Amino acid sequence: MIPARYASTRFPFKLMQPLGNKTVIRHTYDNTVATNLFDEVIVVTDSELIFNEIVQQGGKAMMSKKNHESGSDRIAEAIENMEVDIILNVQGDEPFVNKETLRKLLEAFKDDTIQVASVMKILNDNALINNPNYVKVVVDKNMQSLLFSRSPIPYHRDQDVLPVYYEHIGVYAFRKEALLQFTKWNPTPLEIVEKIECLRYLENGVPLKMILTEDSGVKIDVPEDLIKAANYLREISQ
């Protein structure tokens, strides 16, 4: 499922911006389908423009019935009456989908105790570590999430120790019941103050299994990211 909201605070209408010969949302949809990992790939949106962009090219899309604060809420509405087991949420503004990363994410659910899983990668750029648009995550020794924040975590107090910083990549997978439960919980204090929806799971005692990737794809949060994405597209197309 690909939640696709038309409005965006930092970059309005970003999913319909041209990227090469397609829009951003078309790249995300087509690249997700091309992995051949899923029984179905569906864009769930509040926008007729995005809906038409997908279905007119032969893709599958659904219109949300309600307004939603988070992509998880949008997906939960869509799958409530579907016979599904595992749902994978690909963010619409991350057009460069990596098949191997998604495969590892799905494999996490071979462990019956895993309810929610997500993706992270190592951050080495200090500018990105300190950039609040890049969500950071810290994990325990079993690669279970301990905290997500827009602040640099961990805090580098001991200069004799080199910390590892992980960026949270906004790709999630859920068991159906875990996702439906998420929508029944009220937004939580950390979620509200950080504007990071997966904190609602942590604040209700549900850790996320984090999958490490080396994928260097580009997410599109601000207009400058679209330039980076265009450059990256040219690189991988050569």
**CATH architecture of the region 98-217:** Alpha-Beta Complex (3.90)
* Residues 195-216 as b or e (16 or more Cβ within 10 Å = b): ebbbbbbbeeebbbbbbebebe
Picking from 235, 187, 236, 223, the residue whose alpha carbon sits closest to that of residue 93 is 223
Name the 3-class secondary structure at 107.
helix
Evaluate whether 77 touches 68 at the Cβ level (below 8 Å): yes
CATH 3.90.550.10 domain extents, the chain: 1-92, 98-217
**Average pLDDT score over the chain:** 93
pLDDT value of residue 168: 94
Single pTM value for the model: 0.85
Each residue's pLDDT tens digit, 191-211: 999 999 999 999 999 999 999
Average pLDDT over residues 178-201: 95
Class level of CATH domain 1-92: alpha beta
CA–CA separation, 104 vs 211, rounded Å? Answer: 7
Q: What pLDDT, on the 0 to 100 scale, is given for residue 216?
A: 63
